[in-house]
Amino acid sequence: MTAPNYRRLLRPALFLTVLATLSACGAVTRVSQIGTTPPLAPIENPITRSDYRTVSLPMPAPTTVTHMPNSLWRQGARAFFKDQRASRVGDILTVIIGINDKATFNNTTTRSRTNIDDSDLTNLFGLESQLGRVFPQAINPASIVSLGSSNSSKGVGTVDRKEELSLTIAVIITQVLPNGNLVIQGRQEVRVNFEVRELLIAGVVRPEDITAANTVNHTQIAEARISYGGRGQLTDVQQPRYGQQVLDILLPF
């Protein structure tokens, strides 16, 4: 075997060896756990983990609370008792999502058209008898032009949709508008095995719509943007391959 051929076979062999080694590490761990319950991760300081990242979120400007001497009233307070509802940037608000929508549409369209045109050219300045010299075959002037067309179209459209979603998510106030309304945004991710379920929500709420339990319904959120989906192995299987999606976009038929 020549040197170039040897190098050509050596690279795939090394690649397969690395893959086999990586898979073997996982296989050895799984084999060692046969007959035993899966071990739980140890309790440790999350800050010491290599994948730890600090969180940076919008925070309100620091304020100084001044207590009046011999008075229970706090200067700058809006009420005698402290309001526990979210009202400032960085506060947490609970959003209750209960979507139960149903829509049914049935549309039927039928269209039919028939056209018949017939030209009876019996006299053409006395030249109708000379048409035989121009055209190779005999022509009947009474039926020189005869056209007919028929068009039929029928369309049926049916929409039967039912959407139901019941979730609860905690969001953060990211902005207080000049009129007092609160801009909220929240994100929740839940991973089960190799599938991640992701919930995103954003919008604007009025402080008056927040209940005493610090909750608000999704129907009271203006400009609501709610997204519920997932990513992972199951989602990849449910989606068409990239090549098929490209063909669906480019092919005109």
Q: Token digits for 22?
A: 């990586």
Q: Is this model's pTM higher than 0.85 or not?
A: no
Count of CB atoms within 10 A of residue 157's CB?
9
Report, as an integer, the average pLDDT of 180-193. Answer: 90
d(CA 76, CA 74): 6
81-96: pLDDT as tens digits: 667 888 888 899 999 9
Q: Token digits for 48?
A: 């010491």
d(CA 165, CA 95): 13
Lowest-confidence pick of 56-60, 116-120, 234-238: 116-120
Q: What pLDDT was estimated at residue 30? A: 66
97-114: pLDDT as tens digits: 998 888 888 888 888 888
d(CA 214, CA 205): 12
Q: Mean pLDDT of all residues in the chain?
A: 77
193-227: pLDDT as tens digits: 888 888 999 999 999 999 989 999 999 999 999 99
* Domain assignments of the chain as residue spans, ordered by start: 92-103+163-250, 105-158
d(CA 44, CA 4): 52
* Residues 210 and 85: beta-carbon distance below 8 Å: yes
